[in-house]
Structure formats: C-alpha cells, structure tokens
Amino acid sequence: MKKYFLILFLGCFTFSTSITLAQAEKDTIWFDANWNASTKSQASYYRPKLIKKGNGFLWEDYYLSGAKQMEAISLKENEEIFDGSVTWYFENGHVMQTVNYKNNSLIGERKNYHESGPLKSQYSYENGNIEGAWVGYHENSKLSESGIYKSGARNGEWKEYHENGKLKGEGSYDDGKKVGMWKMYYYDGKSENE
C-alpha cells in the first residue's frame, strides 16, 4: 500500500512540475543575438514572465546558460521605459555596467567594468548627455585616460596612459574633436616629440 501511495505521489508531483515548467516556458520571451524576438531554437537570450513591482515591471534577461544578463524596472510592461538602476552582467556573472534612468532618460553615474571584474570607466549623465569628469581604467586598474565631457562631447584637456601607468599622450578636445598639438610619450615615459 505504501508503495502505491509513493508512486501516486511521485506521479502527481511530476505532472504538476511539468505543467508549471510548461507554463513558465510559454510565458518566456526568446531573443536572438541582436535582441530580436525569436524562437527558443534560435535564441541567445530569454526573458521570463515579467513581475509587477511597485509602479513598474521587473525585467530580468538571461543568457541561455541561465546566467543573468540584465535586471531593470520598466514603467511599461512591453516597452523599455527604464526607471532607476539598470545592471547588465557578463555571462560569467561579473557586472558589465550599471546606469541610472529617470523615466527612460539617462541620469547620474554610469560604471562600466572589464569582463574580469575591475572598473573600466566611470562618468555621469545630465539631461541624457555625458557631462563632467570621465575616467577610464586598464584591466590592471591603472588609469587609461581622463578628461571632461561637456554637452555629450569631449572638451578641454585630456590625458591618456599606458598600462604601466606612465603618461601616453596629452592634449585638448573641442566639441569632441582633437585640436592643437598633442604631446605623445613612449611606454618608458620619454616624449616622442623630443
């Protein structure tokens, strides 16, 4: 008798699990490598059923491996109207980038990371444009370049650095274009212009 109940229990459990998995897969949206809607067999990413959270919807995208690719709150269920922090991930689980939105407009700090984990760049947005200090880092965490953005374009003095931390180049930008004489340096720090 115990054997009969055990078989019945396992059968019911397997059936209910199959129904749950089938429903979850039915609610899943599949995307190809270019983020176009796709079939499961052509997919590179997927998004499970959206969950209502506060005044928006929790969007969680995944690589086919099951690793999380992105997490965000969208104010609309079927349209990317991000609000708050959005985080993207490399498939290895490390953070790729974090950025903030207010009603789908970029605002505040953005951080990008190397796939191995260290910070790659850091800058801020104002009214949807990059504004203010911009710093970039090599994978070894040494400074790679630094300067200022104004109205979404590089402006003023900029410096670039070799991976060993020594100055590589320095000069100016005007509205995103290099201007004037740029002074360049070899890996050992000696000037190319001497």
Structure tokens at 174: 């005007």
| Alpha carbon distance 78, 28 (integer Å) | 13
pTM of the model: 0.82
What pLDDT, on the 0 to 100 scale, is given for residue 3? 64
| Alpha carbon distance 81, 3 (integer Å) | 54
Instruction: Please tell me whether residues 16 and 91 are part of one structural domain.
Output: no
Neighbours of 186 (CB within 10 A): 12
Which residues, in sequence order, are CB contacts of 79 under 8 Å at separation 6+? none
Q: State pLDDT tens for residues 114-167.
A: 999 999 999 999 988 999 999 999 999 999 999 999 999 999 999 999 999 999
Does residue 57 lie in a domain region? yes
Range of the domain at 9: 1-42
Instruction: Please tell me whether residues 13 and 88 are part of one structural domain.
Output: no
Distances (CA, A) of 43 to 64, 102, 184: 8, 30, 46
3-class secondary structure, 46: strand
Q: State pLDDT tens for residues 30-64.
A: 999 999 999 999 999 999 999 999 999 999 999 99
| Alpha carbon distance 123, 136 (integer Å) | 9
Kindly state the DSSP code that residue 81 receives in the 8-state scheme: -
CATH number at 135 reads: 3.90.930.1
Name the residue type at position 151. S
